Structure 1
């Protein structure tokens, strides 16, 4: 893990005035940044979400399926 910022500026993901949890990971397979929000703004109904970008530029949005 090269970065663990539990209070990253929400403006970086289009949510000014909020914060989100940003984690950057580097391994032998490549580097990725995980974005986690729990306030429902990004996840829709309030579950946990993550945006991941894989080597080559593929980006995926992952939800835990929890609706609140």
Structure 2
């Protein structure tokens, strides 16, 4: 019998606004991260691969901006 995987542990992004209208939540999963709008917890999520997540986080930390 295969054990059910645990539910993702969601946390609010430290970059979310304080007014409660701009909250983004993230959850780490084995192959990357999930991202959702906290106002719609049962709504769609983005599934981001680990390599892309690391690149995104690195860009946020260093203030990088896309040239496009």
- The structure carrying a bigger helix percent of its residues is 2
Larger Rg: 2
TM-score for both structures, normalised by structure 1: 0.37
TM-score for both structures, normalised by structure 2: 0.37
- The structure carrying a bigger strand percent of its residues is 1
